[in-house]
Amino acid sequence: MKTIFGIALFLWLCCTALSAQDFGPWSTPANPGSTVNSTCDDQHPTLSKDGLSLVFSSTRPLTQGAPCLPALHLWAAQRDSLDSLWEAPQPLTAVNSPYNSTYEDHAPNLTTDGH
């Protein structure tokens, strides 16, 4: 009897875990263009739930045309609507380590409530 109850509990937990998140359909990937993309190492983008904010890691320099940095820092790009072009990314200076340091700021993630 305990075995049957254990199996039933296991199956119920598995089914509950598999149906816990309901994601919508994926949209077609879109290239944000040269305003967001750089010749440096841009990686690990995260898009806000409303699709208007993009946060990512990059070795891009603070001054355009300067060499790429040795460490990753966080950058954010905004747009006014889903049909608008992205504005030039800005460094997230409030959370970044100094740009002349070897410390890295990497892998931003937004919470499920969009913060």
Give dist(CA 28, CA 93) in Å, integer.
32
Confirm whether pTM is higher than 0.75: no
| Strand ranges inside 10-95, DSSP E | 42-47, 53-58, 73-78, 90-91
Helix-then-strand count for the chain, H and E: 1, 4
In tens digits, the chain (115 residues) has pLDDT values of 556 665 665 666 665 555 556 667 888 888 888 999 999 999 999 999 889 999 999 999 988 889 998 889 999 999 999 999 999 999 988 778 887 777 888 888 888 776 6
**58, 45 contact by CB (below 8 A):** no
Question: Strand locations in 23-72, DSSP E?
Answer: 42-47, 53-58
Q: How far apart are CA 107 and CA 57, in angstroms?
A: 6
